């Protein structure tokens, strides 16, 4: 199978993980990279052995030997770069969030459809072994019907110092699109939607700006209702001083699943539950360890590539083999809707129905 040839556009902070992921995958090679800051592009090119360097993505897109681009750009440039890539008939992998607005996201989906190229959003949170294992246990009926979900990502993120290090775009409304919910919460929203196992139908939210003097929200508290009847509370914060914390619990009529980084815990009321049943539901790759104490099962994740490494590999494979993407542009649009819907709810003081965009 021929490897695909790729151009990475945007050589800032997160691109390092992307270049590493492209080195790791067997499905593609980076042949060119681009950054408006030439020194940055050259630094990455030297470190990762990339032969061609550009400062203007339109020039990179003129190359006939490039099949796809990997966009690691500030949020407001995702859409214009994706439009140009689609016009040049290049498949597109774009960092999360898909765009700053729903209008841009919708146009990106349409432009790629029209051009007949694939559009994938790099939603690294989806590529988590524990998330998928939890979903399989829940789909296997071990906690009954989903009832409620609590999900939080609390951090004290010094967004001012970060912005001063050449990243002012991250705290501007026009350039970032939103604050804690848009930039970091999009990871949580995406995983939450997958864990809920249904599409969201309504959101009610409040936001606030604390600690950091910026024009964006530093915290958002949102309540989602899903089509299968379950509800979820999501809290994402950059202003949780002194007590960073993450928590993900999915409750059902007969138990609960708690998700940690590399492990999950299952509280199930199913009588006579056996290890073999759990192993059968979790499937391959098998957990590193599985144990039970006081009626609670602990499942340890195996050492498998996740996050950006897995996302880049999945994109490259789907393009190389012309198969379905695990995270499409439409998925990215639906996740952004959960963020924009929450903003609208907070602004208008009412519940917002989802979906917002008809496709
Ligand atoms: N998946 C994750 O966990 C994760 C983590 C961090 C960032 N991100 C996402 O990655 C993307 C980039 O974030 P970052 O932290 O790398 O930002 P960054 O500011 O470090 O990098 C952006 C790069 O784009 C370049 N650039 C700006 N305008 C350009 C133009 N017109 N043409 C070419 N290059 C241009 C900048 O010079 C900079 O090098 C964002 O979408 C962000 O949300 C994802």
Which atom in ligand 1 lies closest to the alpha carbon of residue 186?
Answer: 43
Third-level CATH fold of 4-125+307-327? Rossmann fold (3.40.50)
State in Å: Cα 70 to ligand 1 middle: 11
State in Å: Cα 323 to ligand 1 middle: 28
Ligand 1 proximity of 159 Cβ (cutoff 6 Å):
no
Query: What pLDDT was estimated at residue 2?
Result: 82
Nearest CA, atom 25, ligand 1: 10
Ligand 1 proximity of 13 Cβ (cutoff 6 Å):
yes
Of 11, 18, 73, the one to substitute when testing ligand 1's pocket (max ligand atoms within 8 A of C-beta) is 73
What residue spans in the chain does CATH classification 3.40.50.720 cover? 4-125+307-327
* Cα Rg of the chain, angstroms: 21
What residue spans in the chain does CATH classification 3.30.360.10 cover? 126-300
- CA 26 centroid distance within chain: 22
Which atom in ligand 1 lies closest to the alpha carbon of residue 10?
Answer: 24
State in Å: Cα 147 to ligand 1 middle: 38
Nearest CA, atom 6, ligand 1: 14
Q: Rounded to two decimals, what is the model's pTM?
A: 0.96
Which residues, in sequence order, are CB contacts of 208 under 8 Å at separation 6+?
A: 217, 218, 219
211 within 8 A of 241, measured Cβ to Cβ: yes
Which residues, in sequence order, are CB contacts of 57 under 8 Å at separation 6+?
A: 7, 9, 34, 69, 81, 84, 85
Third-level CATH fold of 126-300? Dihydrodipicolinate Reductase; domain 2 (3.30.360)
Full pLDDT tens readout for the chain, 359 residues: 689 999 999 999 999 999 999 999 999 999 999 999 999 999 999 999 999 999 999 999 999 999 999 999 999 999 999 999 999 999 999 999 999 999 999 999 999 999 999 999 999 999 999 999 999 999 999 999 999 999 999 999 889 998 888 779 999 999 999 999 999 999 999 999 999 999 999 999 999 999 999 999 999 999 999 999 999 999 999 999 998 999 999 999 999 999 998 999 999 998 889 999 999 999 989 999 999 998 899 999 999 888 999 999 999 999 999 999 999 999 999 999 999 999 999 999 999 999 999 98
Ligand 1 proximity of 188 Cβ (cutoff 6 Å):
no
Nearest CA, atom 11, ligand 1: 72
Query: What pLDDT was estimated at residue 261?
Result: 84
């Amino acid at each position: 199978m021929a490897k695909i040839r790729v151009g990475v556009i945007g050589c800032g902070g997160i691109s390092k993980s992307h270049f590493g992921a492209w080195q790791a995958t067997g499905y593609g090679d980076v042949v060119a990279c681009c950054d408006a800051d030439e020194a940055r592009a050259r630094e990455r090119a030297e470190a990762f052995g990339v032969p061609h360097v550009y400062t203007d993505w339109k020039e990179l897109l003129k190359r006939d030997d490039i099949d796809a681009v990997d966009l690691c750009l500030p949020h407001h440039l995702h859409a214009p770069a994706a439009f140009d890539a689609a016009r040049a008939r290049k498949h597109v992998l774009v960092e999360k969030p898909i765009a700053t607005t729903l209008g841009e996201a919708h146009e990106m989906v349409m432009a790629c459809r029209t051009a007949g190229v694939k559009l994938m959003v790099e939603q690294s949170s989806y590529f988590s072994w524990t998330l998928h294992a939890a979903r399989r246990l829940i789909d296997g009926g071990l906690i009954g019907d989903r009832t409620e979900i609590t999900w939080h990502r609390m951090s004290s993120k010094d967004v001012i110092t970060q912005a001063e290090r050449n990243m002012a775009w991250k705290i501007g409304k026009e350039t970032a699109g939103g604050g804690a919910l848009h930039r970091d919460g999009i990871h949580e929203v995406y995983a939450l939607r997958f864990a809920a196992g249904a599409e969201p139908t309504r959101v009610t939210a409040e936001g606030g700006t604390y600690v950091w003097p910026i024009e964006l929200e530093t915290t958002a508290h949102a309540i989602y209702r899903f089509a299968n009847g379950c509800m979820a509370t999501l809290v994402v914060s950059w202003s949780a001083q002194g007590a960073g914390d993450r928590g993900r619990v999915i409750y059902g009529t007969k138990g609960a699943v708690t998700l940690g980084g590399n492990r999950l815990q299952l509280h199930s009321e199913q009588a006579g539950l056996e290890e073999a049943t759990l192993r059968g539901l979790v499937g391959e790759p098998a957990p590193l360890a599985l144990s039970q104490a006081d009626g609670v099962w602990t499942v340890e994740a195996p050492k498998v590539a996740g996050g950006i490494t897995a996302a880049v590999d999945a994109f490259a494979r789907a393009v190389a083999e012309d198969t379905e993407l695990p995270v499409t542009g439409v998925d990215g649009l639906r996740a952004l809707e959960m963020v924009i819907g929450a903003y609208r709810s907070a602004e208008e003081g009412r519940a917002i129905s989802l979906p917002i965009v008809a496709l």
